[in-house]
Structures are given as structure tokens and as C-alpha cells.
Amino acid sequence: MLERGYKMEIKSKKRIYPKEEVCIGCHLCEIYCILAHSGTKDLIKAFKRIDKPSPRVLVEEKEGYYITFALQCRHCDDPLCIKACITGAMHRDEKTGYIICDEEKCVGCWSCILVCPYGAIRRGENGRAVSKCDLCIEQGNPVCVENCPNEALELKDLEDLK
């Protein structure tokens, strides 16, 4: 129950920023992301799973260009995905302020994909529910940031930026 005097104005305190100048396009962020969301710690098992999770981070690269960068959910202050969600699956975690999709509740209507201005939400494995960055809410720290070999991903504390 909402305490009197407590206003429901919750925002994410963290966001990951990509640095395209130093990204080498190795896709390790995607691999670690898949592993972290696969329910196993074994990379081979994770990749052999038929319904292996889609990465929640997307490495953009384009033929003929020598730039790449990785992008995850921005955990927006004013998230359109939550407003467009037809089931209520997309919600803000009250403790962390992260935007999380309840994959059990999601029916895969992809309304969030229609409105996310960053293209950061993907259709998940088996096409049923969406797959999006949860800032590794269960692991503690985002594995994509921790395992980026060239420090092309940076987790910033948004309160420090202000």
C-alpha cells in the first residue's frame, strides 16, 4: 500500500551508455547477455537450448561502415513502452526504477516495439514474449558492461550526472 506522503515518482538511477568510437563489434556483450538470461552458467548449454534467449543488447553494424555500437533499453524517465502495453506486463520495478517486462503476462502484441524510440525492445525467443534489457536486475551488475573488452559500454549513475 502506498504510504501517505509518498509519491509514485520513480525513475531508474542507472543507464548504460555506448561509445561507438571504441566499440570493436565483437558481440561479446550479446553472448554474455544470452548466457546471463539462459538460466545456466554453461555457455555451451545456453547456446544448445532450442529456445535460447535473444540478446537484450543489440550490436548495430553496417556493411561498408567501420562503426559499431551496442544498445540496450534506456530505462526512460517517461517510458512509452509501459503506456502502450496492452497487458500491463511492461512495468517499472519499484525498488530499482528499472523497466521490466513480465514475460508470463506478455502476449507478444509488440505494441512496445511500435513505440520504443530506440528500437531497444526485441521479439523474444519463440516469438511469444518480448525480450528487453533488465540491467541484469538478478545478477547485480550488467554483464554486457562487465565483459566488454574495450570498455565501450559504460554504466552511469544518473544522479551523479545531474
Partner 1 sequence: MKYVIIGNSIASAGCIEGIRRVDSEGEILLVSNEPYHMYSRPLISYWLSKKVEDISYRPKDYYEKYRVNPILGKKVVQVDFESKEVILEDGEKINYDKLLIATGGKPFIPNISGLDKKNVFTFIKFDDVKEIDKVLFDGARVTVVGAGLSGLKAVEALIKRNCNVTVVELAGRVLSSILDEEGSRMVQERFEEEGVRFLLENSVSEILGEEKVEKISLKSSDILKTDMVIFAIGVVPNVDIFRGTQLKINRGILVNERMETSIPDVYSAGDVVESLDLLTNENRVIPILPNAYMQGEVAGLNMAGREVRYSGSFPMNSIGFFDMHIMSAGIVNPSSNVEIIKRIEPEKKVYRKLYIRDGKILGFMFINSIDRTGMIVDLMKNKIDISSFKERLLSDNFGFLDLPKEFRKEKILGV
Q: Which residues bind partner 1 (CB under 8 A)?
A: 1-9, 15, 17-18, 58, 60-62, 65, 67, 69, 71, 74, 76, 80, 83-84, 86-88, 105, 107-119, 121-123
CB of residue 45 to partner 1, shortest distance in Å: 27
Alpha helices in the chain (DSSP H): 28-36, 43-48, 80-84, 111-115, 143-146, 158-161
What is the distance in angstroms between the CA of the first residue and the CA of the last residue of the chain? 31
Shorter beta-carbon distance to partner 1: residue 18 or 142 = 18
**Half-sphere CA count of 74, side-chain side, radius 13 A:** 11
Q: Which is nearer to partner 1, 127 or 140 (CB)?
A: 127
CB of 123 to partner 1, least distance (A): 7
Judged on CB neighbours under 10 Å (0-12, 13-18, 19+), 97 is middle
CB of 57 to partner 1, least distance (A): 13
Q: Nearest distance from residue 32's CB to partner 1, in Å?
A: 21
